[in-house]
A and B are shown apart, each in its own frame.
Chain A
Amino acid sequence: MDFSFSEEQQMLQQSVSKFISQDYDWDSRQALSKSATGFSAANWQLFAELGWLSIPFKEDDGGFGGSAVDLIVTMQEFGKGLLVEPFLANTILAGTVISEAGSSEQKSALLTPLMEGSLQLAFAYAEPQSRYELANVQCSAVINGDEIVLNGHKSVVLNGAAAEKILVSVRTSGESCDREGISLIWVEASAAGVRRECYASVDGQRAADIWFDDVVLPASNLLGSAGEAIDVIEMTIDRAALAICAEAVGAMEMSLTKTVEYSKIRKQFKVTLSSFQALQHRMANMFIELAQAKSILLMAAMEMDSLNGRAPKALSAAKSRIGKAARLVGEESIQIHGGIGVTDELDVGHYFKRLTAMQFLFGSTDHHTARFAAS
């Protein structure tokens, strides 16, 4: 066992932290969130130049061989700035699918430009009826010689608006919830028969519902073997869940810091809020929740890096515990701020929104508690 960060990890942490604290101020973040695309293309290019878009990928694929610990180091800092750039959707979700299932040609065509910052991707896996059951896939793809014909509806596709190409989980055989018969394909967002309804999400990010109506694509757009994609999909979602857990830890840290600072300046009854024990203990409780969240995040990341087979259970423990902490810290931050906390103007409410979204992405708190108990 070893609980120390490597020199590279410390440098990575400092580099991301410096960007967030110096170049990602609150007003710019809000402006980006409300802009047409919802994020900054210039920032995205900068991330590519700094190598951040290569962090999660194997060295063989041109990445930095990024470990799960590297990933949480990065995401915690992104969480502090409530980053709106689609790192999670593009780099982690779509990138992991290609990295795990793609052929070398597909990696050159999709992963390399992704790491260079020149390609926006999305991974469409959820469907209106599926909730958190990843094998509940009704979107159908019929492979017919050199062609695939795609039909169906994918819901709440993160980065679905900006994506130029979309990775899709599809059923190529079997019944709705069978683990066998699920495949991965990619499709041009501009292809005939693709219809997108794009929208903002409650946390200031972008997503889309996407319909496929007899979309025809070449058979070479299949990633990996037909019918055998469920393991890669589950692994990808677990990795995204770890990433958002780390993002939540960063967001909680900022939310707590801002709440404590505010309590020291806001006066009521001629004294600062920080002098009331009823509020002090609530803030101490938030600190304990954050400490427990940090510990279990580290545990899950290390289990993921150890390739010992314990990763899914460890991840569920982390998602369950951090979801609980995120709810408490988010809600308490608002309560302690008082009325100003429910205004759109103040940043603390936006941390609350992201901390809320976090609880329902990639499996809810209860879903992961039950998955932990069952494994």
Chain B
Amino acid sequence: MNIDFSAEELAFQGEVSAFLAAELPSDIRDKAANNIELTKENFVSWQKILAKKGWAATNWPVEFGGTGWTPTQKYIFDNECAKVGAPEAIAFGLKMVAPVIYTYGNDEQKQRFLPDILASNVWWCQGYSEPNAGSDLASLKTTAVRDGDDFVVNGTKTWTTLGQHADWIFCLVRTGAAEVKNQNAISFLLIDMKTPGITLSPIYLLDGSPEVNEVHFDNVRVPAKNLIGEEGKGWTYAKVLLTHERTNIAGVAKSKKRLQDLKEKAMQTSDGLSGANAMLSDNFAWQQKIAELEIELLALEYTELKTLADVSTGQAPGPESSILKIKGTEIQQSIDMLNVELAGYYALPFVRDQFVDGFEGVAIGPDQAAGSAPTYFNNRKATIYGGSNEIQTNIICKAVLGL
């Protein structure tokens, strides 16, 4: 047991920090600092810079182009990126479908898909939820019926995050009897978004952004060679993917950075309650909330580090990933609300265009304040997606406590 970084780890930290200082484009850095939404090009160009350095796939095995980092190196990398506001990798390709492909795909599929994911040539999105299959994911109804060398896909997927940017979608489809709710009738299929019969309609969220979509499939012909693993085993693969997704959702490094920002902003924000020159950071109730959150986050940081250490020995993240998901999202949402509290009156103005690239009007309120309420509203999703926190609790009951 040793909590300190070794000389090699300290050197690595220096290397990451120097790389970020030199390579993170200033326009992306500025957008992060000013709450401006990143464009597809922003995400892709940053991911390509990382790929060129060989740092795109921090969670992959080395044989497919992963970094081969230790858990501590991943921890250092995530923390350094969060400190400077470097965009997080869009998880759908690198962190979600790729582990399924390199674990369950055949050689042809690995060669066909993994290099383009690694190089960010292809943007992936997720086709899991359906209008009538949310938390009860296994009740999904989208069908894929074998016809010669193809599957013919019909149905609707929803909550497809950034599907408007996507080139490919990975889907859970029903290949068995439609009437039976049967997890053995679900298969994992990769679909080119340009295939005829696919249409996309945006869904606007509480912050006014078209972040998610409905994706409709109308007699979409998908080559059978795009099926991952065995027909009817999709649920097994999906569960593995979901443990990776939950681990990613925790967002510990980002929450640390946001909490640090909050503390600094509170020192510059007056709080009339306790005297003319008193700052919010002197308010006892505020201090108490910040301290409790920091302590919770510190505990979660070590829960995550221990989980990563287990994963590095070859295990898929276990039920601990449910703890990471529950606690990580609760902490994020607490920080969201503290940002709203910090903003005070300036939590109210809502000039949607202010957060979009190229806005040339008058920005209302301090940077942090303007986005605070929309972010809080939008991020209520965090305790719902990836399997709602109540579903995670059920998983702990079943998988850990045997209830």
Contact = CB atoms under 8 A, between A and B. Distances in A.
Contacts of A69: 1
A303 B5 CA distance: 12
A255 B201 CA distance: 51
A302 B326 CA distance: 26
A262 to B, nearest CB: 12
Contact of B291 (A4, A308, A373): A373
B1 A293 contact: no
B403 A306 contact: no
Given A69-B1, A281-B390, A299-B301, 16 more contacts: A1-B71, A3-B305, A280-B403, A283-B403, A284-B393, A288-B326, A291-B303, A291-B320, A295-B301, A299-B3, A306-B4, A317-B295, A321-B296, A369-B295, A372-B295, A373-B290
Contacts of A277: 394
Contacts of B295: 296, 317, 320-321, 369, 372
Those 6 A-B pairs whose CB atoms lie nearest each other, nearest first: A302-B3, A295-B302, A373-B291, A296-B299, A292-B299, A284-B396
A287 B323 CA distance: 9
A275 B300 CA distance: 29
5 contacts: A277-B394, A295-B306, A302-B1, A320-B295, A372-B291
Interface in B317-365: 320, 323, 326-327
A74 interface: no
A298 interface: yes
B367 interface: no
A373 B305 CA distance: 24
Interface in B60-88: 71-72, 75
A292 B402 contact: no
A360 interface: no
A301 interface: yes
B247 to A, nearest CB: 14
A306 B306 contact: no
B288 A295 contact: no
B207 interface: no
B401 interface: yes
Nearest to B326: A288
A299 B2 CA distance: 9
A26 interface: no
Contacts of A283: 397, 401, 403
Contacts of A287: 396, 400-401
A281 B1 contact: no
Interface in B1-52: 1-6, 9
B401 A3 contact: no
B403 A260 contact: yes
A263 interface: yes
A305 B2 CA distance: 8
Contact of B393 (A285, A291, A302): A285
B323 A291 contact: yes
A3 B309 contact: yes
A321 B331 CA distance: 14
Given A284-B397, A321-B296, A302 B287 contact: no
A1 B303 contact: no
A373 B188 CA distance: 49
B211 interface: no
Contacts of B299: 292-293, 295-296, 299, 317, 321
Contact of B298 (A3, A260, A275, A299): A299
